[in-house]
Chain A
Amino acid sequence: DAGVTQSPTHLIKTRGQHVTLRCSPISGHKSVSWYQQVLGQGPQFIFQYYEKEERGRGNFPDRFSARQFPNYSSELNVNALLLGDSALYLCASSYLYGGRRDGYTFGSGTRLTVV
């Protein structure tokens, strides 16, 4: 079985640009959550989607948006990139929202560097 797949794995963007990160959850999982991780800190919650509806949003500016598609894959979009957006972006797949029953299965992440 394929695990959680994220693309791209690495990305370099210039300040002010826009970026789209993609995630395909494990087959049968209906929830996708997005986390941002910077060095030395734990993953910070950005968004949670369950059954294509937004179920939670973290303390991130409106430049961050996301959506979940009918096949449960998800996109995270970030507009007007800032240097501080440089981070590892993790996608977490779960059967129930928030990984409540079995926890999350994580993808390998997208390493975004903003220059």
Chain B
Amino acid sequence: ILNVEQSPQSLHVQEGDSTNFTCSFPSSNFYALHWYRWETAKSPEALFVMTLNGDEKKKGRISATLNTKEGYSYLYIKGSQPEDSATYLCAPNTNAGKSTFGDGTTLTVKP
């Protein structure tokens, strides 16, 4: 079982603030890392799949970076909006093939 840590556990920001969170995972047997966004009363939705050390992915105001050698990924949100309020989950996937989820970072963006 992988030890996946996400920090902070929760975050409250004002609309327009930029923010970032961290996902830490064991770097051995790494295959891929997934980020998901989970809005209240909805299903988790895949944001990014990252595989290579140094990968950087971007979708609108949200971007993510990956460091497989040291075992971490950052998720950045630029100019947060109330609709960004959600729990952001990371899930590294190992060579064994299953994804292990962190406990998530819950973001609340106040208008």
Contacts and interface: CB of A to CB of B under 8 A. Distances in A.
A55 interface: yes
B46 A105 contact: yes
Contacts of A104: 34, 36, 44, 46, 99
Interface string B41-68: 0111110010000000000000000000
Interface stretch (A14-22, A42-50, A61-69, A72-80): A42-50
B97 A98 contact: yes
Interface residues of B, number: 25
Interface residues on A, range: 20 to 34
Contacts of A42: 4, 6, 89, 101-104
Contact of A106 (B4, B31, B44, B93): B44
A48 B101 contact: no
A45 B46 contact: no
A102 B97 contact: no
A88 B34 CA distance: 21
Central interface residue in B36, B97, B103, by most chain A CB within 10 Å: B97
A103 interface: yes
Contacts of B43: 4, 90, 106-109
A33 interface: yes
A82 to B, nearest CB: 21
B50 to A, nearest CB: 10
Interface of A: 4, 33, 35, 40-45, 48, 55-56, 58-59, 90, 97-109
Q: Which 10 A-B pairs have the closest CB atoms?
A: A42-B101, A103-B46, A98-B97, A106-B43, A42-B103, A103-B34, A56-B98, A98-B98, A43-B101, A106-B44
